[in-house]
Structure 1
Amino acid sequence: MDLTQAIAEVKDPAELASLASAVAAQLAGAVFAASTEGQLLEAAEVLERANRRFDGANSALLAEISDRGAYRKAGFLSVHAFLAGGLRLGDGEARRRRIATEGIARLSNLQGETLAPVFPATAEAVADGAIGADHVVEIDAVMRKIPAAVDGATRAGAEAQLAEVARDLTPAGVRAAGFRLLAHLDPEGALTDERDRQRLRGFGLGGQDQRLMSKVRGYLTPQLRARLEVTLESWAKPGMNNPADPASPRGAAEAADPATLAAAAERDDRSIGQRQHDALLALLEAEQALRPGVGRALSSELVITVTDRELAEQAGVALTATGTRVPVGELVELAADATPHLAVFSHATGQPLYLGRGSRLANKPQRLMLFARDRGCTAHHCNAPFARTEAHHFPDWADGGPTDVDHLGAACGRHNRSVGKNVGEWETQLVIDGPARGRVAWRPRTPGRRAAWRVNQTHHAELLPIQGPHAPPEPEDSRIEAHLEHLLGA
């Protein structure tokens, strides 16, 4: 029996995965120096075909994990969270694999029926090792842009054509071919209708770069564009809302004194893009000034946390509840304009003051202190900013948990609902000793064993490196009382 036949005899997917790992390890240690150039090139092609087939195998495996909700047993709320955090792929690669799976895997519907791949020709090309997940992502992007009015047969033909050309093109080449295909299907945009516009609409802020600057991405509907243009025409006129000119009129141009505006326009050397940026900033400042400061939620107010050392030295970066980083040098000016809530706590310990309350809902002072301590969702690897979190009780309020700062932690809605007593759910505690003392720790309830406690470092990068948290004792342990006495004494 040759090697191919021996492998064919292995039917268990887990055994095949172990075999593939062993082959990869052996191949990683192989010496290619004795191979001819032709053998090297052939090996590169064979390996690439194998990698592309592995993309298909990964999609089939991920589909089964998704259909059966297996990711919950590892303590994750979604397939994406399992890929990004559990397998440590990050959001970008997790999204890539998820898109590939949705396109080429055999997923199940709500009735439990196994469906054919959404892109059958693409799935076949992946199985052949002719294309990989990067090609699938580009095909998916093109297919999403085909107008809803195009009939099913034409859409199927377009997918088959894209899969065929992908066998000979790079992913970038597939994108270019897709542009030509879309132009052929709807050369004048006549088929695009309101369904397509509503499906494509969106607006988002990209992450901050090293300069703390952010890119904006999105698609605006005609209605939003029209309203935005009218507003910018007024608020972004030359001379209006210029932060570098104290005499520049603020607000809408129609309310400004004509002579003052004309003089400010003479001094205005900003580009159109800069004027529009400043207009949006002024518009948001005006909106926030009119909003009443009521309610418990911090997501609608400007809240900033900064250490006492950073504030004294006017150096470093402050953090807002929505996750934006603000240079401390700009903090004083921002505070003067927006009168934000400013939580200052010790740089040395990071310990917030104790602010216990005996009601079910955390009040505003408690939320402020939770922001100062947690900065965002405390669940492992969750990057949700504080503005999208809730005050999570441990123990749960229904189980007698008090609404005290040392029994509360910030948790996004999904993670807050993931806490429970069943396998696949999470449990939480406050760490009482070690480097992570005073932080909220999470661990999944896994069958047959106790997982390690995990502290989320996503919102506390300045504290790295840090040791893993010590498991807290049971609630009746006397050290809990000693810890509470320490907090109250502080």
Structure 2
Amino acid sequence: MNGDDGSFNAAGLLAGLSPAALVAVIGAAEEQLADAPLAALSEDGLLALLDSREQARRTGVAVDAALYVEISDRGAYSRAGYNTMHQLYTGALRLGDGESKRRRVAAASIGRFTEMTGERREPALPCTAEAVAEGAIGEAHVVVIEEVMDRIPRAVDPAARDKAEELLAGAARTLNPAGLMVVGNRILAHLDPDGTLADDKERQRQRKFRLSPQDRQLMSAIQARMTPQLRAQFEVMFSLWAAPGMNNPGDPDSPFGSADQPGLDPAVLAAAAERDDRLLGQRQHDALEAMLDWVNAQASHARPESLRNQVVVTVTDEDLARGAGVAWTTTGTRMPVSDLVKMAADCVPWLAVFSNATGQPLYLGRAHRLASRAQRLALFARDRGCTAPGCTRPFSQCEMDHTPEWQDGGTTDVDRLGGACGRHNRRHGKNSGQWETIVFTDGPNKGRVGWRPVGSGGPWIVNPLFHPDKLRTGPDVPEAERTPPPVVNHRLGDTPCWSSEVESTSPPGTDSGVEALLEQHLAA
């Protein structure tokens, strides 16, 4: 359908179609556009197409927000087996946490949620919502505007807050997100130039300390916003534990602990300081590690069956023998085996060693509901973390999930248990909106836990995040090439730092081989 000027009237053609039909049209149009002869367009035509396509993307942000609001208001996510919108977006749509958060922020900022009275309320950021609907600004702009508005102290006059949002939405029409943040910072400085409006309650609201995921080098960044109290405590600790010469891992004669500890020889510290060539940031890193070593060594009063206060590591005997590879801890950290050996030299953790070539199934039956420590060690070596699809919670944050459930006659046997974080453990059930589980008894996933929404009848899903090596394993992989399940739980050394005893579940003859490997590495 063409207009009087020969242009294509898409709106008239699509009028009256249902939302599902419109999405189908968009999908079909994207397929056609992928094969469109872009080379036939002029340079001006290409630039015009780029501008139109970006405007369409930005308009889609408003549609995504409206869809988010409708699903959230109705609680429709429970029909798919999820408890929150975030779980639906990260689980069913397989979005990352960051992207899911951006969708939530956009919906909360420009969406029209339903009041308890049934009426639709106006968007929290009306000027921003208008700009998005016009296709003038995108999701990244909305996130910046929301962040700036959130940082405005609550004591600022509401009229001034509204004016700030209007200015930000106007600036977003001509600036990219980075430039918009510069404008936002200037607005914040204008509204609270001397910081007197940010009271203690406001500071407590903004506090955070978050570990980022490990990168390819197994290093982790930290995102922190400290209260004045926490900063002061860090400064005191660093002044003593990060003093030149203290807690230097590269100097075997470096003193450990605080620089003001009783009995520390000043001459020894002065000599160590002379040898210390670390940068300030490196000294503070080593100080924090030394402090945590000391704190963890004191944490010996957790429940006997708990693994939360202990360093527990799982590693193959093959990697331990060659001193290479990567080990896993119950908190989800991946650790080079070389670092594991160094740590074991000073403070022996629990170590779960399992064969990479041969193995035996480990069976530990139990008549009580709570799993024993040995069973938890075995399950950590097998699961490494929460078994629910897409969950990244490490094993230290997991509960023991019965399959079938304890109240339905399930037994506390190691081959009928699986690690599940508290949130997913509560989602295990028999009702609509919950998930059912199974422990595979054969096939490439033998011994692992599968999940699926109750009543879906779909395939069982395993969580691959803690076993990336098994992603290549499938029905077409010969049995001899498949990675076997963990089979051995063993304690390294004679005197563990955090626990005084362990139930031994190692096959006969395992101890001497593991200890010999460890002694060989420590001697080296």
Fold agreement, TM-score > 0.5? yes
SS in 1 for 2:452: strand
Structure showing greater relative contact order (alpha-carbon pairs closer than 8 Å, 6 or more residues apart): 2
Counterpart-to-counterpart distance in 2, 1:152 and 1:417: 41
> Paired residue for 1:283?
291
Residues 69, 399 of structure 1: CA spacing in aligned structure 2 closer, same or farther, 3 A cutoff?
A: same
**Partner in structure 2 of residue 414 of structure 1:** 423
- Offset from partner CA, 1:274-327 (integer Å, 9 cap, x none): 111111111111111122154122222111111111111211000111111110
**Distance in 2 (alpha carbons) for counterparts of 1:240 and 1:170:** 46
SS of alignment partner, residue 121 of structure 2: coil
1:436: which partner in 2?
445
Per the alignment, residue 36 of structure 2 pairs with 30
Which residue number corresponds to residue 148 of structure 1? 154
Number of the residue aligned with 1:424: 433
After superposing on structure 2, the runs of 4+ consecutive aligned residues of structure 1 that deviate more than 6 Å are: none
Tell me whether 81-90 or 390-399 shows the greater mean CA deviation: 81-90
Alignment match, 1:248: 254
Any residues of structure 2 matched to 1:133-212 within 5 Å, and which?
A: 133-212=139-218
Matched ranges for 1:379-458 at <5 A: 379-446=388-455, 449-458=456-465
Which of 279, 286, 302 in structure 1 is aligned with 2:311? 302
Alpha carbons 1:77, 1:415 under 8 Å: kept: no
TM-score normalised by L of structure 2: 0.86
Q: CA deviation at 1:42?
A: 2.0
Amino acid at match of 2:341: V
Structure 1, residues 149-200: CA drift from partner, whole Å, max 9, x if none?
1121111111111011111111112111111111111122222111221111
Structure-2 residue corresponding to 1:318? 327
Aligned to 1:8: 15
Separation in structure 2 between the aligned mates of residue 461 and residue 444 of structure 1, nearest angstrom? 23
CA distance in 2, matches of 1:186, 1:351: 66
Moved more, 259-268 or 315-324: 259-268
**Counterpart position of 2:280:** 272
> Deviation string for 1:318-349 (max 9, x for gaps)?
01111111100111221232321101112246
Alpha carbons 2:86, 2:100 under 8 Å: kept: yes
Deviation at 1:114, TM superposition (A): 2.8
* Distance (Å, rounded) in 1 between the aligned partners of 2:341 and 2:313: 11
Task: Write the mapping of 1:17-96 to structure 2, written as runs, cut at 5 A.
Answer: 17-96=23-102
CA change 1:466–1:115 in 2 (3 A) is farther
Q: Secondary structure at the match of 1:362?
A: coil
Displacement of 1:67 in angstroms is: 1.8
Query: Matched residue of 1:343: which SS?
Result: strand
Partner residue of 1:257?
265
The CA deviation at 1:109 is: 4.5
Q: Which runs of 5+ in 2 are unaligned?
A: 2-8, 477-506, 509-524
* 8 Å Cα contact 1:319-1:326 kept in structure 2: yes
Measured after TM superposition, the shift of residue 83 of structure 1 is: 1.6
Q: 1:461 aligns with which of 468, 487, 494?
A: 468
Contact 1:455 1:468 in 2 (8 A): no
CA deviation string 1:197-242 (max 9, x = no partner): 1111111111111111111110111111111111111111111111
- Return closer, same or farther for 1:152/1:291 CA change in 2, 3 Å cut-off: same
Distance 1:131 1:349, change over 3 A: farther
Structure 1: runs of 5 or more not aligned: 470-488
Deviation readout 1:232-291 (Å, 9 max, x if unpaired): 111111111112222222111112222221222222221211111111111111111122
Q: Distance in 2 between matches of 1:350 and 1:233?
A: 50
2:429/2:435 contact within 8 Å kept: yes
Is the contact made by 1:430 and 1:439 (CA closer than 8 Å) also made in structure 2?
yes
One-letter identity of the residue aligned with 2:67: L
Give the drift of 1:145. 1.2
Residues 45-77 of structure 1: per-residue CA shift (max 9 Å, x gap): 211111111111011101111222222222233
Aligned mates of 1:221, 1:352 — CA distance in 2: 50
In the TM superposition, residue 468 of structure 1 has moved relative to its aligned partner by 7.8
Equivalent residue of 1:411, what SS?
strand
User: SS where residue 221 of structure 2 aligns?
Assistant: strand
Alpha-carbon distance in 2 for matches of 1:174, 1:86: 33
Q: Distance in 2 between matches of 1:376 and 1:217?
A: 23
Q: Which residue does the alignment assign to 2:346?
A: 337
Q: Cα–Cα, structure 1 residues 108 and 351, in superposed 2: closer, same or farther, change >3 Å?
A: farther
**Sequence identity (%):** 53
| Cα root mean square deviation, aligned | 1.9
Given that residues 302 and 309 in structure 2 are in contact (C-alpha distance below 8 angstroms), is that contact kept between their aligned partners in structure 1?
Answer: no
Aligned amino acid, residue 77 of structure 1: N
1:33 shift after superposition? 2.7
Question: 1:402-444: CA deviations, max 9, x gaps?
Answer: 1110110000111000011112210001011111111011111
Separation in structure 2 between the aligned mates of residue 158 and residue 3 of structure 1, nearest angstrom: 37
